[in-house]
Amino acid sequence: MLLRLLWLTPVLCFAAWAQHDTKDGEKAKHPFIGDLAAIEAGRQQFSTGCAGCHGPEGGGGRGPNLQDRGVWHPLGDEDMYKLIQKGQGLMPGANVTVDEGWRLVAFVRSLTTPAFEMKAPGDAVAGKAVYEANGCANCHTLQGKGGKLGPDLSNVGLRLPLPKMRKAVMDPDDAIAEGYQGIDLVMRSGERVRGVVKNRTNYSVQVQLGNGSLRLLNVGDVETMTLREATMMPVDYVKKLSKMEMDNLVAFLARQAAGAPVMAAKQ
Ligand code: HEC
Ligand code: HEC
């Protein structure tokens, strides 16, 4: 549930970068890797031969979670290909052709590659309009502009892989970003305060309000305090946006990589 936290931890982000460097250093990249059509074909194959153990989107089951595993257990492309063909431990070898094997590698890679490095299936320019029309900026900052209730998205293309990014918009309750748990307070004065907990001690609680300002409250002045299980992010975008709007929005978010070192983007 809190697995998306991993993507927020600078140390792990650095690990992901380091891994990226070694991968590039190997230069063993198969042409299918990062290729949208190959990834899609790999996804189909994965759903019949692998999802039974690894979950439909590689989220884990009897087999490990392949969305998170890559972060702490980097596996080179060749090694992954061999592992898929031969099996390992409780995992049986797959009976697939060379191309099918590489499409599977391409799909598994796509689960952990930062969205910025992928070709997102959508139109980033159209996605900007979706972002602007749906109030995202009320809560999120991009390039220094916007609200502060939710995480700054200026760098989100480097922080989240495409499946996690899509999930963050379609099903925000699934994994609440660290430091963004909602809280409802009723003060002894009768005032109601709602926001995101930033800091909490036995004596005080610091709450970030919807307008981004921080407020430090004395626990002694608080009548009731309810931590919200649910996210503060609207959960109905999945109903409000068409599939195409969602694709475009994700494509736009994928391009958000402020401060990224100069690198070849594939789009
Ligand atoms: C019967 C269940 C099962 C099936 C089916 C299965 N896996 Fe696995 N998979 C596992 C288990 C268990 C592991 C952990 C292996 C170990 O002990 O090292 C694993 C490990 C992996 C790993 C390596 C993770 C790592 O970093 O070490 C990859 C990649 C992987 N599987 C991909 C696939 C793909 C692709 C398919 C479909 C062709 C597939 N698996 C089918 C159970 C399964
Ligand atoms: C009412 C405020 C609010 C609005 C409006 C809102 N969000 Fe969020 N969003 C949040 C909060 C709070 C979080 C952190 C909690 C969570 O992970 O669910 C979040 C999390 C996210 C994340 C995950 C970020 C990360 O670092 O893990 C993404 C991506 C995101 N929002 C995109 C959007 C997009 C795109 C829109 C518009 C379609 C939008 N949000 C609208 C409040 C909002």
pLDDT, one tens digit per residue, over 153-162 is: 999 999 899 8
State yes or no: pLDDT of 247 exceeds 50. yes
Domain final residue pick, 87, 113, 139: 113
Dihedral angle of Cα 176, 6, 246, 55, to the nearest 10 degrees: -100
Cβ contact 134:197 at 8 Å: no
Average pLDDT over residues 242-263: 86
Q: Are residues 28 and 104 in the same domain?
A: yes
Q: Are residues 46 and 7 in the same domain?
A: yes
Average pLDDT over residues 232-256: 95
Domain-located, residue 92: yes
Q: Are residues 160 and 91 in the same domain?
A: no
Domain final residue pick, 113, 139, 166: 113
CATH number at residue 214: 2.30.30.100
- What would the pLDDT profile of 27-55 be if each residue is shown by its tens digit? 467 889 888 889 989 999 999 999 999 99
Confidence label for 266 from pLDDT (cuts 50, 70 and 90)? very low
Query: 49: CA distance to ligand 2 center in Å?
Result: 34
Query: Is the CB of 168 inside a 6 Å radius of any atom of ligand 2?
Result: yes
Domain-located, residue 241: yes
Pocket of ligand 1 (CB under 6 A): 46, 49-50, 52-54, 62-64, 66, 69, 73, 75, 80, 83-84, 88-92, 94, 104, 108
Query: 64: CA distance to ligand 1 center in Å?
Result: 7
Average pLDDT over residues 19-23: 44
State yes or no: pLDDT of 219 exceeds 80. yes
Query: Which H or E run includes 163?
Result: helix 162-170
Query: 84: CA distance to ligand 2 center in Å?
Result: 36
Closest Cα to atom 32 of ligand 2: 169
Residues 65, 42: Cα–Cα separation, whole Å: 17
Q: Are residues 92 and 20 in the same domain?
A: yes
Whole-number pLDDT of residue 34: 81
Domain-located, residue 260: no
Q: Which residue has the higher pLDDT, 3 or 75?
A: 75
Q: Are residues 143 and 58 in the same domain?
A: no
- What would the pLDDT profile of 177-205 be if each residue is shown by its tens digit? 777 888 889 999 999 998 888 888 889 98
Q: Are residues 34 and 131 in the same domain?
A: no
* Mean pLDDT estimate for the chain: 84
Domain-located, residue 26: yes
- What would the pLDDT profile of 63-108 be if each residue is shown by its tens digit? 998 987 766 667 889 999 999 999 999 999 998 999 999 999 999 9
Q: Are residues 84 and 40 in the same domain?
A: yes
For the chain, the domain total comes to: 3
Closest Cα to atom 1 of ligand 2: 233
Q: Which domain holds residue 199?
A: 182-227
Cβ contact 222:229 at 8 Å: no
Q: Are residues 15 and 91 in the same domain?
A: yes
Do you know the residue count of the chain? 267
Q: Are residues 135 and 238 in the same domain?
A: yes
What is the share, in percent, of the chain residues with pLDDT greater than 70?
Answer: 85
Q: Are residues 53 and 101 in the same domain?
A: yes
Residues 175, 181: Cα–Cα separation, whole Å: 11
Domain final residue pick, 79, 113, 147: 113
